[in-house]
Amino acid sequence: MHVVYPGSFDPLHNGHFDVIVRSSKLFDRVTVAVLENPSKRNQWLFTPEERVEIIRRAAAQARLENVQVDTFRGLLVDYMKKIGSRVIVKGLRAVSDYEYELQMAHLNRQFPPHAETLFIMAATRWSYVSSTMVKEIARYGGDVGKLVPQATLEALKARMQPER
């Protein structure tokens, strides 16, 4: 079965990566679909291409051979039709995530390919991690090494280098 794990992944953190690893063990093929949203271009820390590269490096370092990474614009269901998938994987950290993702799951079932959404509960040790928090800690020079994969850590260190 081919599943899609969509998100912004700005940046990829260990909660995201845990869902990728666990999905790769459950499904034949996992496409990590990085959202491209041109209207938010100035809000992203990393470009879609940089996010794709970070995820690819993290997947390669973990030897996840059934994981591929791509970008998409517009409706997720349109992208899913294009790649031939009908299943969305989403990670959930808290009840607040569930409420939003439940609405999205119901909406995605209304449009061809009538996508099914499978929820994977975040591992407890990553349930408090968010991209927003990782960016904030990194901006102030904090150590995020325990919160992100090595590929993300390297990209953050390069991006957050103080100007000389």
Question: What is the longest distance spanned by two Cα atoms in the chain?
Answer: 53
Superfamily of domain 2-160: HUPs (3.40.50.620)
Residue ranges of the domains in the chain? 2-160
* Residue 158 · residue 25 · CB < 8 Å: no
Phi, psi of 117 (to 5 degrees): -115, 130
Percent of the chain whose pLDDT exceeds 90 = 85
Q: Choosing from 29, 93, 109, 159, which is the catalytic residue?
A: 93
Q: Choosing from 23, 24, 85, 131, which is the catalytic residue?
A: 131
What's the pLDDT score for residue 164? 41
The string of pLDDT tens digits covering residues 36-88 is 987 766 788 999 999 999 999 999 999 999 999 999 999 999 999 999 999 99
pLDDT average, residue stretch 30-36: 96
pLDDT band per the 50, 70, 90 thresholds, residue 162: low
Percent of the chain whose pLDDT exceeds 70 = 95
What's the pLDDT score for residue 40? 66
